[in-house]
Amino acid sequence: MGKRKETAFVWRQTCIAPDIYDMWIDTGLAEEAKPGQFISIYPENRSTLLPRPISICEADRENKRLRIVYRTVGKGTAEFSDYHAGKEIEILGTLGNGFPLEKARGKTCFLMGGGIGIPPILQLAKELKAMGNCQVNIIVGYRDANLFLDKDLQQYGNLYIATEDGSVGSRGNVMNAIEENGLKADVIFACGPMPMLRAIKQYAEANQVEAYISLEERMACGIGACLGCVCKTTHKDPHSHVNNARICTDGPVFDAKEVEI
């Protein structure tokens, strides 16, 4: 079917941690959704024009439902957090490339998520477990004891938690959790804040481990036309012919070796 904009419906929504919302959406886009992809949701308030790109947390293909877990950070997400079951919404999807699952075959994997970068890790963990033939270690970092998605994640791999205040699991971030637990991997999949992704890129290079990281940037179109959301690449990007790849279309998941962050 390809990318499309469609009218979808909120199936249910709950607040699962301070400022963190868990929304299930009834949409046919669920059938094509891949872990690491995202959808764009259009606010109804026309003073906030641009769609909000939000990563897919879970795809229930059988019931045609997508789950997103997001943090309220501005007017758009604040509007979304007020939506109740049955609410009609305009969405665009599915967008982006997604995580390369095949890279996990026969490997020991780290699935790393930091803060609001944790949600896409869930669908990835679920699909890797279903694929089999790989060992999944999930390492997630939170600010404090207000955890979310941890119970979902633990069904699909060995779960390690880090909190900045040390209230749960390792004190510090996901890198501290790896060290404290003496973990090693052949391949890393990660989504989270830029300092975390930089640390992972560095770690991966030092330990000669493959790493696939999901980036984010301010976007307008979400489909590769406006060139708003670029990241610097080590090689000339085949589309732009300069060292810039489009996060919305060429990403959001990149081989860490190929981006300069």
Partner 1 sequence: MAENKKEKNLNTEVTIAGVTFKNPVMTASGTFGSGMEYGEFVDLNKLGAVVTKGVANVPWPGNPTPRIAETYGGMLNAIGLQNPGMEVFIERDLEFLKQFDTKVIVNVCGKSVEDYLEVVERLSDEAVDMLEINVSCPNVKEGAIAFGQKADALYNITKEIRKKAKQPVIMKLSPNVTDITEMAKAAEAAGADALSMINTITGMKIDIHKRAFALANKTGGMSGPAIKPVAVRMVYQAANAVKIPIIGMGGIANAEDAIEFLLAGATAVSIGAMNFVNPYTTMETIQGIEDYMLQYNIEDIKTLIGAVQ
129 interacts with partner 1 by CB under 8 A: no
Cβ-proximal residues to 167 (8 Å cutoff; 6+ apart), any chain? 144, 145
CA dist 256 and 261 (Å) reads: 9
Binding piece for partner 1, criterion CB under 8 A, among 47-55, 123-131, 177-185, 253-261: 47-55
Report in angstroms how near the CB of residue 223 gets to partner 1 at its nearest.
5
Q: How far is CA 246 from CA 36, 144, 242, in A?
A: 15, 33, 11
Q: Give me 233's structure tokens.
A: 């690449």
Q: Which is nearer to partner 1, 65 or 246 (CB)?
A: 246
Residues numbered 90 to 119 that lie near partner 1 (CB under 8 A) are 92
51 interacts with partner 1 by CB under 8 A: yes
Q: Give me 82's structure tokens.
A: 């007020």
Binding piece for partner 1, criterion CB under 8 A, among 43-51, 78-86, 124-132, 137-145: 43-51
The whole-angstrom distance between residue 170's C-alpha and the CA centroid of its chain comes to 22
225 interacts with partner 1 by CB under 8 A: yes
User: Percentages helix, strand, coil for the chain, rounded to the nearest 5?
Assistant: 20, 35, 40
Binding piece for partner 1, criterion CB under 8 A, among 55-63, 161-169, 183-191, 221-229: 221-229
Q: Which is nearer to partner 1, 95 or 174 (CB)?
A: 95
Q: Which is nearer to partner 1, 200 or 229 (CB)?
A: 229
193 interacts with partner 1 by CB under 8 A: no
Burial class (CB in 10 A: 0-12, 13-18, 19+), 213: buried
Q: How many residues bind partner 1 (CB under 8 A)?
A: 34
On whether the CB atoms of residues 100 and 212 are closer than 8 A, the answer is: yes
Q: How far is CA 215 from CA 113, 118, 183, 225, in A?
A: 12, 13, 24, 18
Q: Which is nearer to partner 1, 172 or 224 (CB)?
A: 224
Burial class (CB in 10 A: 0-12, 13-18, 19+), 242: exposed
Report in angstroms how near the CB of residue 73 gets to partner 1 at its nearest.
10
Site string for partner 1, 64-93 (x = CB under 8 A): ----------------------------x-
220 interacts with partner 1 by CB under 8 A: yes
The contact set with partner 1 (CB under 8 A) reads: 2-5, 42, 46-51, 92, 217-231, 239-244, 249
